[in-house]
Amino acid sequence: MPRGFWPVLYTLLAAASGAGAAAAEDAVDFHRDIRPILSGACFQCHGPDEKQRKADLRLDTKAGAFEDRGGHFVIVAGKPEASRLMQRITAQDPKKRMPPAKSGKSLSPKQVELIRRWIRQGAKWSEHWAFVPPVRPVLPAVTDRQWLRNAIDAFILARLEREGLTPAPPADRVTLLRRLSLDLIGLPPTPAEVDAFLADPSPNAYAKQVERLLQSPHYGERWGRHWLDAARYADSDGYEKDKSRQVWAYREWVINALNRDLPYNQFVIEQLAGDLLPGATQDQRVATGFLRNSMINEEGGVDPEQFRMEAMFDRMDAIGKSILGLTIQCAQCHNHKFDPLTQEEYYRMFAFLNNDYEADIAVYAPAEQRKRADIFRGIRAIEADLQHRHPDWPKRLAAWEETVKGDQPDWQVVRPELDASGGQKHYLLADGSVLAQGYAPTKHTTDFTVRTDLPAITAVRLELLNDPNLPLGGPGRSIKGLCALTEFRVEAAPADNPKQKKQVKIARATADVNPPERELEPIFNDRTKRRRVTGPIQYAIDGKDETAWGIDIGPGRSNVPRKAVFVFDKPITFPKGALLTFRLTQNHGGWNSDDNQNNNLGRFRFSITTAPNAAADPLPEHVRRILAVPAERRTPAQTAALFSYWRTTVPQWRDANARIEELWRQHPEGSAQLVLQARGEPRPTHMLKRGDFLKPGKVVGPGVPAFLHPLPDQAPPTRLSFARWLADRNSPTTARAIVNRVWQAYFGTGIVSTSEDLGSQSEAPSHPELLDWLAVEFMDRGWSLKTLHRLIVTSAVYRQSSRVTPDLLARDPLNRWLARGPRMRVEAEAVRDLALAASGLLDEKIGGPSVFPPAPAFLFQPPASYGPKIWPEDTGSGRYRRALYTFRYRSVPYPMLQTFDAPNGDFSCVRRVRSNTPLQALTTLNEPLFLECARALALRTVREGGGTEPQRLEYAFRRCLARRPTATESAALLALLDKQLRRYQQGDTNPWELAAEDPKLPPKLPEGVTLPQLAAWTVVARVLLNLDETITKE
Amino acid sequence: MNCQDSWYRNADPRLVARRWFFRQCGVGLGVMALGQLLSRAGYAAATNPLAPRQPHHRPRAKRVIFLFMAGAPSHLELFDYKPELARFDGKLPPADLIQGYRAAFINPNSKLLGPKFKFARHGRSGAELSELLPHLAGVVDDIAIVKSMVTDAFNHAPGQILMNTGSQQFGRPSVGAWATYGLGSESQDLPGFIVFSSGKKGPSGGNSNWGSGFLPTVYQGVQFRGGSEPVLYLSNPRGVDAQTQRDSLDTIRTLNQARLDEMGDPEIATRISSFEMAFRMQASAPELMDIAREPKHVLTMYGAEPGKPSFANNCLLARRLVERGVRFVQLFHEAWDQHGNLVKDLKQNCLDTDRACAALIKDLKQRGLLDETLVIWGGEFGRTPMVQGGNDGRDHHPNAFTMWLAGGGIKPGITLGRSDDFGFNVVSERVHVHDLHATILHLLGFDHTRLTYRFQGRDFRLTDVHGQVVEALLA
């Protein structure tokens, strides 16, 4: 073994197993001691995967390990010498020894000895603990009962007493409040909050603080961020284009759900299937954004189905890690090698999720929802008034119906031949319509050719149709789900002589929507100086590249089907059929096809007719459908919808109609959210060979793995059933996984350190009974996360001092036994938030779209990024919002957050790295926003910190660290202040260079404060913000 | 990416070191003593996860420079001359060739397009190169050309991620991260894995091309750029001069030290050393980036121009970085996606890169660095022999493409592997991306099946369950 790196590893392993061995002196524990050895060294060939299984031997089940193998036994309880297992793992002959050398695995003498002792002690076997539902364990007996504050402490203390350790004394009040505040809301306490707590003599003073913080709306922000890691939240698509997407409504849902303490089981159900709940609200649909946080690839050459599959795998992985606490993605290619999950079971779970549209819906903030309700109420009132004043309306409506009945020509849908070439991919759907997917070029012309035997074709109809896969349901692909048609042309050729192609002259065009001319919106700016407009249908046949037919008639009612009819000046007839080519020119997008600037048609259909004088039917599709229902069988809603259309055709009602139009113009824009939307017809789910979507195997139906709890008998095979199953009380891992992660957030390490994996390969829990107790308690108390938090933070173990002695550090370097409180650097977002809060710059607004704090502009431009990205730096208070709201591009992570280990959302993350690097030091020292914080803290300090320098120091120090400085600390900081003050007084440099954002526009100096003083304080403030303790939870 | 780590799981060498540190040194260690200790190799080896480490076997390469030609250069115009393709120019490809073939943009049944440039043989090895690569022709006996590369992906982001991480799915560590994880870095004050980007745009795979995946974040590539501030936030802010910075850092250290004395948390000691390393980097990085200090003839050889960011500058910087002990340098040059403008753009791309690539080989060789520096050139896939558009473009093609390698234990002056008459499929000495990875790790001293990291209950490796060392490439 080479020297250097590896010996260091061995020292640690020895130290770690030393701690374990001390605990295992007496009885060998199968879960803790034996199962991990078998899993690590044997299961690969003698485990759940039958394809890999050697010698037809399974060691992952009791039946397998103890079976009669023709007179001999692998394991004979109590008799190591008679057990084949012992013979093989101790064999001298390398050919016989297990595990075989070529497997790369080996057993240490210590492991062999453990197995020997386990067999001697009776080879007690039990299923892997995590696959057996937790039951509430009895509290262990402890000696020092006085220390206990709640049940958690009993489990911790029992372990400590067994280890011969004693708990640390409680942390002092200031440290405790800062810890509590950072833990519950992710922000430090203000000096006033500290003072109030110190001055509160009541016995429940601490409990009051806990309640205050649990009620704070910042609680949802702090704990929401943890969930967003698991939900792989990001504001962009990932892959090459990495376009921005609107998903912040989901983030807001998470924050709000936690703030109102939505029970965790419900929290899970809504994220998996909120849309399928009876009477699903907008919020419940938004919650399914959890599944949509997968990346999307819209590179030029992609097959969208391939990346839908990638997204499906990602969803499965996210569900596994974040909800089940299991790593299931191995089974996408083959049976799991360690856990009893077969590939077929994987695809059975997959089948629950495989029946959805990748939808993007409009969502409205509460104020917008109220506005919408007002508008619709207003419209209804005007319509009711019309009906009231014209009681004969049903008769008039019926008369009108007669006039429009059968007034449309017959249209024959024609299906173009499509291939998968080109950037934007076109798919022919069952109804003959074409769906555009994948890459969306902003300027392009595409031909669609159809063959027809219809003689004397007089006109073609282009329908624009909705589709759940399009933004806001379409019919276009722009971010509003709309589109513009620059030019429409038709060419015709005889089917038997395609080369004789001639352009067909279009005599006239009609459409069911003809908006007035208007200039393109800024997002479609193509960086030419041309004035580009949309307007009526004539703009699609005027031969001008600057004009296009548009369908945008304002928010709330533009995402509807549309149609245009183009009449030829002469009917087209070829004796052996015709080849018609429809050429769609779509040049009304912006300059950058790598961004959300397309203005393309999303789903459309061509039909032809032989009728003379065809025109676009002014009646919307839904009105035609209602008309097809006999009047007496129409629902009130249908009648109302019919009335709403018909009234627009009544000339006498012009005023009322105009008032309704005016109401529509007030409709809020809203925003969008990626969600799931169930398809009417389920997709068949195939098992994929090696996970390759081009190699579908047998079809499987929805189902759940046998090693977990069963699905209720009557459960329909829907995503909702799967969601309910995941959040079922009988799930052995769901509650354990979440309580373990909450524990991890407090103490740095979970009770099971591998919080993403509670399966066979997980690390043994440090306190298995505590984990089960917490899981059961959590479920018994209604899956309330706030109750869980309350329980943990009021325990004695949480309240310990985090000071550590060399001796304790040597015995328990990772603090697994918790003989001291947690001490760790706060997470990336909190590093930023702490500086903002200490400086007083923090904008505490909750929720809303993502923000753009300062970032180096070059990062968002080639060649640093693939395409030019938008980073409109916030100049107002938006730059001081909590880091949770910082816009996250997957391909260009925000540097400060990345440096402090925030994940970029490529995949689900339930356990962050916590690194400590020079790049972090450079960031807090030199990054512009940290410097703004230093300036703001300095200014605030000289303004509000008192009249003397020591008073000011105490003020600034407490804003960062909550506590007061020690004499040594004061001396060092005041010395720095003094030295800097002298340097600035000497006038070497302009102090405003440091002390002002813009030296030419300096802030007003407070009364009695000199500029050198302010600059010197800026230096000190910068030092305070860079202390280890400032960014540490002690 | 910043997910999961070794800290709480297997072995965090630093923790062991900290325990040692506390036993040996006590908690009340003075600042000076700490500083000295940190600089002593023994302690650095233990505290710093980037400390140099020995691999499995004696390495042939100690460092890597990967010239990543993002966008996928046309092997048919640069390395893999196909007279038959010229003969069939304008004809449809044989039906059996394209059966089941999936293309990114074109209908696979598109006409064949003959090579656009002349080829000639060069050097003692007689390797065939395009007229576009006159400078590479001058060092052709120092490189090994592999004409039989194969990959699985034919879209840029997945293809680049596969070439750089061994998987089309995001979230795996990059080759550079694996190398740095395995070997550490020999640089005291620079990151172990440094990335540059030039060309028209950044790479399609974004930061994940140099991410650390599930490895600790210290192993991820750090993006440098030309100019005086190669690393983000390297420079002192406006109004902070060297004296103020030093005074500030001294005060930070004093207070951190006091806290270390009080709390006994070794993480504070690490923080102290992080700030000191940051200070050193502030001094060393600008010096490193200052290529104006290079002699004129060196600048000319590369075609580098101080102050004007370019691939050539980055090549020169790569040499300066490996001289300073940086383990892995990766240059992304995204310019090679010639769906159209094949002739014009390839000419330009070769003008931009050929001279510098050759200069890098020459320069490393002259300095005696080439023996232990592995240089790799290539993109994420090749291009179709079928035309895209009129007659001046090619689509993405994964079945056959060309890369070259040099130095660091690579057999010089050879051409390995062959593609068929159209450059469509590989017919001999197939080298899959996983095989390339296995070979890179082998040259760095690793058995690719044993350089593993435990994550989510299983041991992951760069090559997953694939990869064979390409023995024929080894010197």
pLDDT-derived band at A914 (thresholds 50, 70, 90) equals confident
Min CA distance, A737 vs chain B (Å)? 14
Does the pLDDT at position A94 exceed 90?
no
3-state secondary structure A222-248: HHHHHHHHHCCCCCECCCCCCCECCCH
Mean predicted confidence (pLDDT) in A324-341? 87
pLDDT at A5: 33
Does A9 sit within 8 Å of B216, measured CB to CB? no
Token pair for residue A419? Answer: 């291939």
Average pLDDT of chain A, as a whole number: 93
pLDDT-derived band at B48 (thresholds 50, 70, 90) equals low
* Residue B200 near residue B334 (C-beta atoms within 8 A): yes
Give A-chain residues touching B46 at CB under 8 angstroms. 8
Residue A299 or residue A146, greater confidence: A146
Size of interface A-B (CB pairs under 8 A): 341
Name the most confidently modeled range: A757-771, A817-831, B7-21.
Answer: A817-831
Mean predicted confidence (pLDDT) in A660-680? 96
Does B202 sit within 8 Å of A901, measured CB to CB? no
H/E segment holding residue A104: none
Percent of chain A with pLDDT over 90: 79
Does the pLDDT at position B75 exceed 80?
yes
Residue A209 CA neighbour count, 13 Å, CB half:
31
Mean predicted confidence (pLDDT) in A261-266? 98
**Which residue's structure tokens are 């016989």?**
A96
Q: Give the predicted TM-score (pTM) of the model.
A: 0.89
- What are the φ/ψ torsions at residue A563 (nearest 5 degrees)? -145, 150
Does A863 sit within 8 Å of B332, measured CB to CB? yes
Mean predicted confidence (pLDDT) in A550-570? 97
Mean predicted confidence (pLDDT) in A169-198? 98
* Dist CA A567 CA A2 (whole Å): 83
pLDDT at A9: 30
Does the pLDDT at position A187 exceed 60?
yes
Pairing state between β A533-535 and A547-550: parallel
H/E segment holding residue B148: strand B143-150
Does A901 sit within 8 Å of B217, measured CB to CB? yes
pLDDT-derived band at B47 (thresholds 50, 70, 90) equals low
Q: Which of A35, A421, A688, A760 to mutate to test the interface with B (most CBs of B within 10 A)?
A: A421
Does the pLDDT at position B37 exceed 50?
no
Contacts (Cβ under 8 Å, ≥6 apart) of A25: none
Contacts (Cβ under 8 Å, ≥6 apart) of B68: B160, B163, B164, B203, B209, B330, B331, B332, B333, B378, B379
Does the pLDDT at position A729 exceed 90?
yes
Does B217 sit within 8 Å of A906, measured CB to CB? no
Query: Coil, helix or strand for A115?
Result: helix
pLDDT at B34: 36
Does the pLDDT at position B454 exceed 90?
no
pLDDT at B189: 83
Does the pLDDT at position A101 exceed 90?
no
Q: What is the pLDDT of residues A972-1003, one digit of tens each?
A: 999 999 999 999 999 877 899 999 988 898 98
Token pair for residue B307? Answer: 């102050």
Contacts (Cβ under 8 Å, ≥6 apart) of A560: A466, A475, A620
pLDDT-derived band at A130 (thresholds 50, 70, 90) equals very high
Token pair for residue A1011? Answer: 């500029």
Q: What is the pLDDT of residues B367-384, one digit of tens each?
A: 999 999 999 999 999 999
* Residue A755 near residue A737 (C-beta atoms within 8 A): yes
Q: What is the pLDDT of residues B247-266, one digit of tens each?
A: 999 999 999 999 999 999 98
pLDDT-derived band at A125 (thresholds 50, 70, 90) equals confident
Does A806 sit within 8 Å of B26, measured CB to CB? yes
Does the pLDDT at position B31 exceed 70?
no
Does the pLDDT at position A353 exceed 50?
yes
Contacts (Cβ under 8 Å, ≥6 apart) of A167: A147, A156, A157, A160, A796, A797, A800, A818, A819, A820
H/E segment holding residue B146: strand B143-150
Mean predicted confidence (pLDDT) in A687-699? 93
Does the pLDDT at position B307 exceed 50?
yes
Question: Can you count the helices (H) and strands (E) in chain B?
Answer: 15, 17
* Residue A560 near residue A552 (C-beta atoms within 8 A): no
Nearest to A301 among B12, B104, B334 (CB): B104
Nearest to A994 among B239, B272, B282 (CB): B239
Closest residue in chain A to residue B310, using alpha carbons only: A863
* Dist CA A183 CA A826 (whole Å): 9
Q: Residue A159 CB: number of other CB atoms within 10 A?
A: 21
**Which residue's structure tokens are 């008799």?**
A79
Nearest to B147 by CA among B420, B466, B333, B360: B420
**DSSP symbol at B372:** G
Q: What is the pLDDT of residues A319-331, one digit of tens each?
A: 999 999 998 988 8
Q: Minimum mean pLDDT among A354-358, A866-870, A965-969, B38-42: which range?
A: B38-42
Does the pLDDT at position A417 exceed 70?
yes
Task: To the nearest 10°, report the CA torsion of A570, A574, A577, A583.
Answer: -40
Closest residue in chain A to residue B224, using alpha carbons only: A864
Token pair for residue A51? Answer: 């394809």
Contacts (Cβ under 8 Å, ≥6 apart) of A804: A815, A820, A823, B263, B264, B265
Nearest to A88 by CA among A66, A116, A110: A116
**Which residue's structure tokens are 């189905």?**
A305
pLDDT-derived band at B2 (thresholds 50, 70, 90) equals low
Give A-chain residues touching B216 at CB under 8 angstroms. 913, 915
Does the pLDDT at position B5 exceed 70?
no
* Dist CA A420 CA B103 (whole Å): 8
**DSSP symbol at A694:** T
Nearest to B150 by CA among B138, B141, B162: B162
Q: Name residue B193's beta-bridge partners.
A: B328
Token pair for residue A982? Answer: 């002298």
Nearest to A891 among B18, B207, B259 (CB): B207
> CA distances (Å), A130 to each of A367, A467, A899, in order?
46, 43, 35
Pairing state between β B394-397 and B127-130: unpaired
Token pair for residue A677? Answer: 């939307």
Nearest to A805 among B51, B225, B264 (CB): B264
Closest residue in chain B to residue A44, using alpha carbons only: B458
pLDDT at A879: 96
Q: Minimum mean pLDDT among A201-205, A357-361, B188-192: which range?
A: B188-192
Q: What is the pLDDT of residues A462-498, one digit of tens each?
A: 999 999 999 999 999 999 999 999 999 999 999 999 9
pLDDT at A24: 42
Q: What is the pLDDT of residues B197-215, one digit of tens each?
A: 999 888 988 889 999 888 8
Q: Which of B8, B12, B257, B464 to mutate to test the interface with A (most CBs of A within 10 A)?
A: B8
Does B458 sit within 8 Å of A921, measured CB to CB? no
- In the chain, the amino acid numbered B42 is G
pLDDT at A26: 63
> CA distances (Å), A320 to each of A225, A230, A341, in order?
19, 10, 12
Q: What is the pLDDT of residues A563-615, one digit of tens each?
A: 999 999 999 999 999 999 999 999 999 999 999 999 999 999 999 999 999 99
* Residue A234 near residue A890 (C-beta atoms within 8 A): yes
Does A754 sit within 8 Å of B9, measured CB to CB? yes
Min CA distance, B314 vs chain A (Å)? 13
Does the pLDDT at position A386 exceed 70?
yes
Does the pLDDT at position A161 exceed 50?
yes
